[in-house]
Chains A and B, each alone.
Chain A
Amino acid sequence: MTALATLAPEFASVPDSTLPGPLQRYRDNAAKAIAGMAMPTRRTENWKYSSRHLQLDTALAAPLAATGTISTDIGDAYRIVIRNGVIAADESRLPAIDGIEIVRFADLDEVNAQKIVEQLDGALDTAALQFAPLNSARLQDGLLVRLASNARLDKPLFVLCQTLAEHSGSAHPRILVDAGSHSELTLVEQHESQGDAPALVNAVTELNLAAGAQVTYVRLSLDGTTVNHIGATGVRLAANARFDSHCVGFGGPLRRHDLQIRLQEAGAECRLNGVTVTLGEQHYDNHTVIEHVAPHCNSEETYRCIAAGKSHAIFNGRILIHRDAQKSVAEMSNKNLLLSSEAEIDTKPELEIYADDVKCAHGATIGQLDAESLFYLVSRGIGRTEAGTLLSMAFINELVQQIPVESVKDAIEQRLIDFIETTFQEV
């Protein structure tokens, strides 16, 4: 038996940074903890399909050197850029609103840094997130978004996580959102990249929603074809808080997103929408967990995946209803569209229910384009590429149209159309 592969020691090396003392200590402790960390394998249940895409050779351990910029038009919105894991403060456009703090970790004083350290990892189930500790160990900077009670951000906040991959290396963006009671926020976390060198992005975002807070979270995974992307989003909801997410992902060599939701107090609700598309040899792995901890919480999850070429899409949706979570309502649906006979889709709903008075529904399907519909369109003169694209878009359109930021919705819709069109032209 061969020894388990471990993460190269270079990954545990501490990067240069000017973090305040408590955060430096947090990072150093994490670095110690990951030394010798075993890499997930085929036999690691939650990495079963993705471990073979993990090719984290030592070249990826180097921090990416920040050069250049990606100009992204975000329309009328607030913006902050995290370039290669470090906040580019001069490119930010931030609100001046009472009760809203948007601060980089590097700028925190010791007292505030200590508070952050106490919060960090609190919204994550780190046992199921093998790479979150690596993010902590490689912390160079981080973004804190804090809303006081009743504070409301009037426009979406875009966090542009930019990866500039002229040379190999990795970036570990970190975001912490602290939404006070009855506060309101729309956050767009957009991952994008430039450059052709193999790179690793290992992003962690945590959101803590106090009672009655409402957060809309749009997560766009748009990294380029040489970027390996591992991302985790952890969310904790207090009483009557509401979390809506819209995760749209385009395939890549390695694409992984873990979304962990904990409905901790009565009346909390979440609605999770997800769309992923893959082609060629690409890969996309979504793992979601919704935990109903308290009674009277609702969750609704709808994920759609389209896989073309020889690509591979994975959806693993777990719903865990604790013993005390009576009157929980949980609905989960995952529908998948295979555009080629060589593409692969694995879908696995996992329900664990320990309360007896709950309403729980789930469904998963895998299908192909309907030949009759395709013939109908083509018989009207519509070319096969266009007809296939129309039908594929119809499969995900309902979710795309729900993206609440108009400019994002339009841009993503076009991007999806272009992407899907290429899958039909490949044939």
Chain B
Amino acid sequence: MLSIKNLHAAIEGKEILKGIDLEVKPGEVHAIMGPNGSGKSTLSQVLAGNDSYEVTGGEVILDGKNLLEMETEERAREGVFLAFQYPVEIPGVSNLQFLKTALNSIRKHHGQNEINAVEFMKLAREKARQVNLDESFLKRGVNEGFSGGEKKRNEIMQMLLMEPKLAILDETDSGLDIDALKTVADGVNALRSPDRSVIMVTHYQRLLSYIVPDYVHVLAGGRIIKSGGRELALELEAKGYGWLGINETATAG
């Protein structure tokens, strides 16, 4: 599915990712943990195609295609989805219009015809219900005035609508109460299938009790310094990052 080799990336001339290697096979769920400022969001944004980051080395292959050469919109159409750590508010563009345009762009890419307004409304309502977002959110501006938790659920709703083959969740769990956390986890679990993969960036192990990962990686200082099974997450929770030789406060950002 996804193969990252020796990926380096910089922002404003400052190198953040210093050689990331990661193999994600179809159906797998990978958790990426690490202290603040270690480069988790940078990795997520680079994969999604944010061109304020400069890729300075390495390669990323998605199902045999060079991901880094693809335009941002093309990556999404090919099935890459990023749930943003900080979803942006866009007043004046309604959530409905946004979702419909996005879905149709993806459908068009796959040679499917545009979804009609009635069918789309039905689908959007269903997905909103699935993440416990009231229908009225569909009519509001994109994330406009949404609470932190509502924004995260809106991200998951978009993911359910677009059915990506690779979902990258950037701290979708942070700031959520336990009910919202379960809603988000249910959403992700509903999408899990043998041909879809998930990269889950998280700070805490609690999400991992609801979405059980196949692998856990520790990202620190722009490198993956340790990988293991889900037991690694429990170990991190018990011992903190200190035992891996990471000074958490020094890298906070």
- Seen from chain A, the residues whose Cβ lies within 8 Å of a Cβ on chain B are 370-373, 375-384, 386-387, 390-391, 393-395, 397-398
The distance in angstroms between the C-alpha atoms of A212 and B185, with both chains bound, is 61
Q: Determine the chain B residues whose CB is within 8 A of the CB of A381 once the complex forms.
A: 73, 76-77, 102, 105-106, 109, 162
Q: Is the CB of A376 within 8 A of B88?
A: yes
CA distance A376 to B76 in the complex (A): 11
Q: Which of A370, A378, A390 is close to B72, meaning CB atoms less than 8 Å apart?
A: A378
Interface presence of B52 (CB below 8 A): yes
Are B77 and A376 neighbours in the complex by a CB distance under 8 Å?
A: no
Residue of A nearest to B141 (CB): A394
4 A-B pairs with the lowest CB-CB distances in the bound complex, closest first: A394-B92, A381-B76, A380-B102, A381-B105
Cα distance A232–B19 in the bound complex, in angstroms: 65
> Could you tell me if B88 and A390 are in contact, using CB atoms closer than 8 angstroms?
no
- Complex: A378 Cα to B71 Cα, angstroms: 9
Q: Does B158 lie within 8 Å of A380, measured CB to CB? A: yes
- Our pick among A371, A379, A387 for the contact of B49 (Cβ within 8 Å) is A379
Partner of B90, one of A376, A379, A383: A376
CA distance A273 to B75 in the complex (A): 40
- CB of B84 within 8 A of chain A? yes
Name the residue in A381, A393, A397 with the highest tally of chain B Cβ atoms < 10 Å from its Cβ.
Answer: A381
Report whether A394 and B93 are in contact in the complex, using a CB–CB cutoff of 8 Å.
Answer: yes
Q: Which of B20-60 contact A (CB under 8 A)?
A: 48-52
Q: Give the docked Cα–Cα distance between A387 and B105 (Å).
A: 11
Is there contact, CB below 8 Å, between A390 and B98?
A: yes
The yes or no answer to B189 lying at the interface (CB within 8 A) is no
Cβ contact within 8 Å between B92 and A398: yes
Alpha-carbon gap, A21 to B88, bound state (A): 66
The reply on B229 being an interface residue by CB < 8 A is no
B contact residues around A383 at 8 Å (CB): 73, 105
Cα of A383 to Cα of B106 in the assembled complex, Å: 10
0/1 interface trace, chain B 90-117, chain A, CB 8 Å (1 if under): 1111000110011001100100000000
Known: A379-B82, A381-B76, A382-B105. A394 touches B91 (CB 8 A): yes
Please state if A384 and B73 are interface contacts (CB–CB under 8 Å).
yes
Q: How large is the interface on B (under 10, 10 to 19, 20 to 34, 35 or more residues)?
A: 20 to 34
Say yes or no: A380 contacts B90, CB within 8 Å: no
Give the dominant DSSP class at A's interface.
helix
Say whether B87 faces chain A, with CB atoms less than 8 Å apart: yes
With contacts A381-B102, A381-B162 taken as known, whether A375 is within 8 angstroms of B72 at the C-beta atoms is yes
Roughly how many angstroms separate A34 CA and B142 CA in the complex, as a whole number? 55
Q: List 19 A-B contacts (CB under 8 A).
A: A373-B88, A373-B90, A376-B142, A378-B72, A379-B49, A379-B50, A379-B73, A380-B162, A382-B98, A382-B101, A382-B105, A383-B105, A384-B73, A386-B101, A391-B92, A393-B92, A394-B90, A394-B141, A398-B92
CA distance in complex: A384, B98 (Å): 13
Report how far A394 CA is from B48 CA in the complex, Å: 24
Chain A residue with minimal CB distance to B45?
Answer: A375
Give the contacting residue for B76; candidates A373, A380, A397; CB below 8 A: A380
**B102 pairs with A382, CB closer than 8 A:** yes
Residues of B contacting A376 in the complex (Cβ-Cβ under 8 angstroms):
84, 87-88, 90, 142
Tell whether, in the assembled complex, residue B52 and residue A379 are in contact, meaning their CB atoms are under 8 Å apart: no
B95 CB, min distance to chain A CBs, angstroms: 12
In the assembled complex, which residues on chain A have CB atoms less than 8 Å from the CB atom of B91? Answer: 394
Complex contact A378–B73 (CB within 8 A): yes
Task: Determine the chain A residues whose CB is within 8 A of the CB of B106 once the complex forms.
Answer: 381
Interface residues of B in 153-183 (CB under 8 A from A): 158, 162
- Roughly how many angstroms separate A146 CA and B93 CA in the complex, as a whole number? 41
The answer for the CA separation of A119 and B69 in the assembled complex, in Å, is 68
Shortest CB distance A333–B (Å): 15
Closest B residue to A392 by beta carbon equals: B92
Cα-based distance from A390 to B73 in the complex (angstroms): 15
Q: How far is the CA of A382 from the CA of B90 in the complex (A)?
A: 15
A14 to B37, CA, bound (A): 77
CB-based contact A390/B101 at 8 Å: yes
Nearest residue (CB) in B for A384 is: B73
A-contacting residues, B104-136, CB 8 Å: 105-106, 109
Q: Which of B52, B75, B88 counts the most chain A CB atoms within 10 A?
A: B88
**Which of B92, B105, B142 has most A Cβ within 10 Å?**
B92
Given A381-B73, A383-B73, decide whether A391 and B93 contact each other with a Cβ distance below 8 A: yes
Inter-chain contacts of B98 with A (CB < 8 A): 377, 380, 382, 390
- Shortest C-beta distance, A258 to chain B (Å), equals 29
| Contact B88–A372 (Cβ < 8 Å) | yes
- Which among B73, B98, B106 has the highest number of chain A CB atoms within 10 Å? B73
Residue of B nearest to A398 (CB): B92
- Cα-based distance from A390 to B105 in the complex (angstroms): 14
CA distance A372 to B41 in the complex (A): 14
List chain B residues, Cβ under 8 A from A386. Answer: 101, 105
The smallest beta-carbon distance between A339 and chain B, in angstroms, is 16
CB of A390 within 8 A of CB of B97, answer: yes
Q: How far is the CA of A371 from the CA of B50 in the complex (A)?
A: 10
